Amino acid sequence: MSETVILKAKEWLKIDRNEETRKEVEKLLEENDETKLTQLFGSRLEFGTAGLRALMGAGYTRMNHITVQQTAQGWSEYLLSTMDNDQIKKRGIVIGYDHRYHSKEFADITANVFMLKGFKVYLFNVIVPTPLVSYAIRSLNAAGGVMITPSHNPKEYNGYKVYWENSVQIIPPHDTGISQKINENLELLDLEKASEVSNGLLFDPIKTDQVDERYYNAIDQEMKSKLLDNSENTSELKVIYTAMHGVGYEWIKRAFQKIEFNGMIPVESQVEPDPEFPTVPFPNPEERGALDIAFKTGDEKGSNLIIANDPDADRLCVAEKTVGSESKWHKFHGNEIGMLFGWWQYKKYKNSENKKPVAILNSTVSSKMVRALADKNGFKFEETLTGFKWLGNKAIDLEKEGYKVLLCFEEAIGYMVGSTVYDKDGISAAIALIQMAQYLKNKNLTLLQQFEKLCQKLGNFLYNNSYFYCYDKEVIDSIFKKIRNDGKYFEKIGTSKIKSIRDLTTGFDSSQKDNKAILHVDPNSQMITFTFENESVITLRTSGTEPKIKYYIESSGKETLEQVRIKLDKLTQMFIDTYLEPEKNSLVPPKKK
């Protein structure tokens, strides 16, 4: 067995005060389990723009008391190195946590580290949805924040999501700066001393600042509309709600009370926070089967609408029962709900007194249908890289330019409806969804029928989004090298001619006059987008956390749905066969569900 790994494991035991992880390491040493010890001590968790997200357990590659404390020490030192120390300590840090195993402990550790550094700490005393941390930073003018959650990952995981002073998740170069400070501050502080300094530094933002009430009031103001003032009786609207065993139920309940909506029917077996996730082992509402109990509840209760939050309540999934003799549940794609929100937000804007120019944003891999809506109505549309860290920052930039940002969204069911929170927010999105559904119901329309009306006006937009596993970096590099062809990118796929190419690995963008990309360029990741003359779009990129090559392919047109589907499938297959070559490159497709 590697002496280095053994030494690291033994050094770990000298500093680990947690009985659970100590026993794990002691057992592995006793059994001489070199493979497992190397997994745990052979490297360190990498801190990125998403912070940390990993399995919980012993070792430097896992989420545990030691790695969380070291991360907090590095994060605090980075803040101190970038801002005025006295001012930043007074502004303080916001810390929230979900219901997962060890989340409260990780939050307490973080709070103790920051107090030892002299920071005011706003530590929530209850489990909270992720967007509340983002809102609290902005509302309290804090210097930053941390949310302890792995979002929708399985029960064995936890995460450490970091926000900057503008209440948006961090972007480069902050991630590398924090990572460097973590490595410079690995020696653990004595956290027992934190109790000596906590008086005057530790606050619960709900008790001391009523952040929760501020949040609900801000959302209520954001969502108000003349369209809703003259609504007819909407008491018949019945909505099934599931929290996926996460934190959302109590917060959604209060949100609906705020807008005087009484038609929520909870999925009783899934509304209580439960770190075991007994009915949904992979608690992502996008996954096939995740809404099965909600569908059953809807059938039993006579409801035609379902909404679901993921466990930290920052995303929203929607399903609706179709109208007709063969009625069945339709689970909306994130792009479909994003489009409906775009229509709804713009309709509300047109009926308001607001005279500001408006904008809607989505990520580069989300549907271009909302761009068609913007072109038709003359408002601004912009796209950003994937992730609300980019969408939130762009929204702030546009607001500084005088725009009212109506919506930001991603195809992965993340929505920022309005700008109360500069992050995806499943609570405010749920309110917007209910209000939109109420309005449409009074017009004798369903959500799906309204979406179909938009398709009739703007065209049909269909997409194939999937991935291949690839465990060989050289193969991945060779695939992208072939596509780049020494800068002589291919001009067409089959009969589909390419209009423009954007390569965010090299910084090339043929749609710009100087051929330089406007979006953030990262030479350490692969991402190429092709826009075709027939308005089809292909984006190919690598995953930052998994051995995957992901593709997002969209085709659109005024043809019939079936004709657009044929066009899309043909383009998809030709692209995969010609440039990915799965068999030759030993690419592994996802398992069929």
DSSP per-residue letters across 146-183? EEE--TTS-TTEEEEEEE-TTSSB--TTHHHHHHHHHH
Instruction: Tell me which of 2-6, 146-150, 366-370, 435-439 is least confident.
Output: 2-6
> Global pTM?
0.95
Domain 43-215 has CATH 3.40.120.10: yes
pLDDT, one tens digit per residue, over 93-112 is 999 999 999 999 999 999 99
pLDDT, one tens digit per residue, over 113-125 is 999 999 999 999 9
Return the CATH number of the domain spanning residue range 243-458: 3.40.120.10
3-state secondary structure 219-279: HHHHHCCHHHHCCCCCCCCCEEEECCCCCHHHHHHHHHHHCCCCCEEECHHHCCCCCCCCC
pLDDT, one tens digit per residue, over 444-464 is 999 999 999 999 999 999 999
pLDDT value at residue 413: 98
Query: How many whole angstroms separate alpha carbon 376 and alpha carbon 142?
Result: 40
What band does 404 get if pLDDT is binned at 50, 70 and 90?
Answer: very high
Domain ranges (residues) in the chain: 43-215, 243-458, 460-580
Task: Using alpha carbons only, give the angle 454, 455, 460 rounded to the nearest 5 degrees.
Answer: 155
pLDDT value at residue 380: 98
Residue 305 has pLDDT above 60, yes or no: yes
DSSP per-residue letters across 69-82? HHHHHHHHHHHHHH
pLDDT, one tens digit per residue, over 188-238 is 999 999 999 999 999 999 999 999 999 999 999 999 887 887 555 545 799
Residue 353 has pLDDT above 90, yes or no: no
The predicted model gives 547-566 an average pLDDT of 96
DSSP 484: H
The predicted model gives 158-177 an average pLDDT of 97
Task: Using alpha carbons only, give the angle 95, 97, 98 rounded to the nearest 5 degrees.
Answer: 165
What band does 355 get if pLDDT is binned at 50, 70 and 90?
Answer: confident
What band does 395 get if pLDDT is binned at 50, 70 and 90?
Answer: very high
What band does 319 get if pLDDT is binned at 50, 70 and 90?
Answer: very high
363 belongs to the catalytic site? no
Query: How many whole angstroms separate alpha carbon 94 and alpha carbon 32?
Result: 42
Of the residues 151, 367, 428, 496, which is catalytic? Answer: 151
The predicted model gives 478-494 an average pLDDT of 93
Query: How many whole angstroms separate alpha carbon 316 and alpha carbon 407?
Result: 14
Query: Are the C-beta atoms of residues 56 and 101 closer than 8 Å to each other?
Result: yes
| Contact partners, residue 151, CB within 8 Å, separation at least 6 | 53, 130, 159, 310, 311, 312, 314, 315
pLDDT value at residue 1: 58
Task: Give the class (CATH, top level) of 460-580.
Answer: alpha beta
pLDDT value at residue 471: 93
Mean pLDDT of the chain: 95
Q: What percent of the chain has a predicted confidence (pLDDT) above 70?
A: 98
pLDDT, one tens digit per residue, over 16-44 is 999 999 999 999 999 999 999 999 999 99
Query: Are the C-beta atoms of residues 267 and 280 closer than 8 Å to each other?
Result: no
43-215 and 460-580: identical CATH topology = no
Query: Are the C-beta atoms of residues 253 and 264 closer than 8 Å to each other?
Result: yes
The predicted model gives 118-138 an average pLDDT of 99
pLDDT value at residue 226: 77
| Contact partners, residue 331, CB within 8 Å, separation at least 6 | 291, 317, 318, 319
Q: Which of 82, 99, 523 is nearest to 309 (CA)?
A: 99
Instruction: Tell me which of 37-46, 323-332, 547-556, 574-583 is least confident.
Output: 323-332
pLDDT value at residue 233: 52
pLDDT value at residue 325: 75
Please list the helix, strand and coil fractions of the chain in percent, rounded to the nearest 5, in that order: 40, 20, 40
Query: How many whole angstroms separate alpha carbon 136 and alpha carbon 364?
Result: 28
Residue 160 has pLDDT above 90, yes or no: yes
